Copies of this chain bind each other. A is one copy, B any other.
Amino acid sequence: MEKRPPTWGKEYAPHRPIPEATIKRLPLYARALQLLEAQRAEKVSSAELARPLGLNSAQVRKDLALFGQFGTPGFGYQVTGLRRELRRILGTDREVRVVLVGAGNLGSALLSYRGFLKQGFTMLAGFDVDPEAAAVRARTSVPIHHVDALEDRLTGRRVDIAVLAVPVDAAQSITDRLVELGVRAILNFVPARLAVPPGVHVRYVDLSLELESLSYYVQDG
């Protein structure tokens, strides 16, 4: 990898917005590099990075080039350096602070989901209309508060991402309160479109939509 150029990372092409599809692939690259690092690999080609992810090497090169000059033709990428840069670009090199609202069956499973912890996220707190029942379900050391206490508990604290798993009817009003509290990213498990002001990012995870679209592929004939 070349020396860090003067225009690097997110400032590299400030007038060209990065496609969301690219942003979604960056954590895949970071995770593949983490594995390579664990295997003490020093360098990796775009083809080697692409293959286990089911992508092609041109896609990898194009994605990474949006953020700067990371690789060297004929050499590839330096594993540790590229991983460090990707984590810096994603912001996962610092503490990412998460709250969860709606700790029903799915929400309480998410509250104690090891995948979040393993990747360095901090689950600050959960909120539910019935925090006692939610605590029984979640069996976690993460504190669970009544949803009425959202403002009391979170005002003045930095929250990076809210995970939303409330009933459909409550989704928009909870979203409005989270936005008011300064939350700028929501991972939404509720099957409802959320209205948010510019600068707030919502990612939708609708598990029954996933099953419905998979159903397409398993029909006979």
Binding site for B on A (CB under 8 A): 10, 23-24, 26-28, 30-31, 52-54, 89-92, 96, 98, 105-106, 108-110, 112-113, 115-116, 118-119, 121, 160-161, 163, 184-185, 187, 191, 193, 201, 203, 205-219
- In the assembled complex, the Cα of A209 lies from the Cα of B120 at a distance in Å of 12
**Which among B96, B121, B160, B215 is the interface contact of A92 at CB below 8 angstroms?**
B215
Contact of A215 with B160 in the complex, beta carbons under 8 Å: yes
Considering only CB atoms, which chain B residue lies closest to A214 in the complex?
Answer: B185
Considering only CB atoms, which chain B residue lies closest to A138 in the complex?
Answer: B105
Interface centre among A10, A96, A185, A215 (most CB of B within 10 A): A215
Do A96 and B205 form a contact, CB below 8 Å, given A106-B113, A113-B105, A187-B210?
no
Grouping DSSP codes into helix (H, G, I), strand (E, B) and loop, the A interface class, with mixed when no group exceeds half, is helix
Contact of B205 with A217 in the complex, beta carbons under 8 Å: no
Question: How many copies, total?
Answer: 2
Contact of A118 with B208 in the complex, beta carbons under 8 Å: yes
A191 proximity list for chain B (CB < 8 A) = 31, 115
A210 proximity list for chain B (CB < 8 A) = 187, 203, 205
User: How far, in Å, is A7 (CB) from chain B's closest CB?
Assistant: 15
Contact of A215 with B96 in the complex, beta carbons under 8 Å: yes
Q: List 25 A-B contacts (CB under 8 A).
A: A24-B213, A26-B216, A27-B208, A31-B191, A89-B216, A90-B213, A90-B216, A96-B211, A98-B211, A105-B109, A106-B113, A108-B109, A110-B207, A113-B207, A115-B207, A115-B208, A116-B207, A118-B208, A119-B208, A121-B211, A161-B211, A185-B215, A185-B218, A187-B207, A201-B218
A218 proximity list for chain B (CB < 8 A) = 91, 96, 160-161, 184-185, 201
Considering only CB atoms, which chain B residue lies closest to A139 in the complex?
Answer: B105
Contact of B214 with A187 in the complex, beta carbons under 8 Å: yes
User: How far, in Å, is A202 (CB) from chain B's closest CB?
Assistant: 9
Considering only CB atoms, which chain B residue lies closest to A98 in the complex?
Answer: B211
